Amino acid sequence: MKAGDTRRKPWIVGVSGASGTPYAASVLRALLAAGEGVDLVVSRASRLTLLDETGISFRDAHWRDDLRQWLARGADGKPDTFDVPSRTLDDVRYWAAGDLAAGPSSGSYATKGMLIVPASTACVAGVALGLSKDLLQRSASVTLKEGRRLVVCVRETPLNGQTLKHLVSLDEAGASVLPASPAFYAGATHIQDLVDFVAGRVLDAAGVPHSLYRRWKGELGGASSAD
């Protein structure tokens, strides 16, 4: 389904300034592989993190080329780890973080929900308090008020008391609070496996099918053995 299709009902993916841009890349690749439409919002702070973690400068005017480079890069920082055909990005619509008149800023704009990955503590606070200082926070507030699914993949440690209170507020408002906490029972052998586990749990919380990690089968060692 094309980005301009009026029947389109995308997932909003918000990327905040916390460390963890590989998590966002994994989620985006899996959403597109599942045939889901994506509305992408990249905060100003996250551009600095993306540049530091991948060497990629994300530019509004060249977002498609920059996004393709980003999604092709693995968690180890090596380029061209993943094949990302240009046509894959036909299901992505990009909105600038400063565009408060963008589609996702309105409840009448149809979406399936929103995934914030990674979510910084500043982003968590802004959403919990309803500040709507940029499109990412506004989109999250709209998602909550419309009763749509909001998954907040918080990436910070340790967590102070104020942030914990904000996370409780988000939980009470109906959001799924999902710390970026990789597990090791799924037979991880590379850093990408740990990244994909977190991304997979984000998609589990959203109800989106994926094959990013091996699921627990009730047998010790079962997850790490070949299917």
Domain ranges of the chain: 11-206
Q: Is 70 helix (H, G, I), strand (E, B) or coil?
A: helix
17 is in an annotated binding site: yes
The total of other beta-carbon atoms located within 10 Å of residue 93's CB is: 19
Distance in Å from the first CA to the final CA of the chain? 33
Q: What pLDDT band is residue 210 in, cutting at 50, 70 and 90?
A: very high
Q: Output 49-57 pairs: Cβ under 8 A, ≥24 positions apart.
A: 49/17, 49/18, 49/19, 49/20, 49/21, 50/15, 50/21, 53/19, 53/21, 53/22, 53/77, 54/21
**Rounded Cα gap, residues 56 and 75, in angstroms:** 13
**Rounded Cα gap, residues 63 and 203, in angstroms:** 24
Per residue in 67-89, pLDDT tens? 999 999 999 989 999 999 888 89
**Rounded Cα gap, residues 206 and 27, in angstroms:** 11
Phi-psi category of residue 78: left, alpha or beta, with phi > 0 → left and psi -120 to 50 → alpha? beta
Q: Which pLDDT score, from 0 to 100, does residue 125 have?
A: 98
43 is in an annotated binding site: yes
Q: Is the pLDDT of residue 145 over 50?
A: yes
141 is in an annotated binding site: no
Per residue in 36-63, pLDDT tens? 999 999 999 999 999 999 999 999 999 9
The total of other beta-carbon atoms located within 10 Å of residue 187's CB is: 14
Residue predicted with more confidence, 145 or 7 = 145
19 is in an annotated binding site: yes
Average pLDDT over residues 111-127: 98
181 is in an annotated binding site: no
Mean pLDDT over each residue of the chain, to the nearest integer? 94
**What CATH architecture is 11-206?**
3-Layer(aba) Sandwich (3.40)
Q: Is the pLDDT of residue 225 over 70?
A: no
Percent helix, strand and coil across the chain, each to the nearest 5: 40, 15, 45
**Rounded Cα gap, residues 192 and 205, in angstroms:** 20
Q: Is the pLDDT of residue 219 over 90?
A: no
119's CB contacts (< 8 A; 6+ apart) are 14, 16, 18, 152, 153, 154, 155
161 is in an annotated binding site: no
The side-by-side arrangement of strands in the sheet containing 38-42 is 92-96, 38-42, 11-15, 113-119, 149-154, 176-177
Structural contact between residues 119 and 163, judged by C-beta atoms closer than 8 angstroms? no
3-state secondary structure 157-178: CCCCHHHHHHHHHHHHCCCEEC
24 is in an annotated binding site: no
Average pLDDT over residues 12-20: 98
Q: Is 129 helix (H, G, I), strand (E, B) or coil?
A: helix
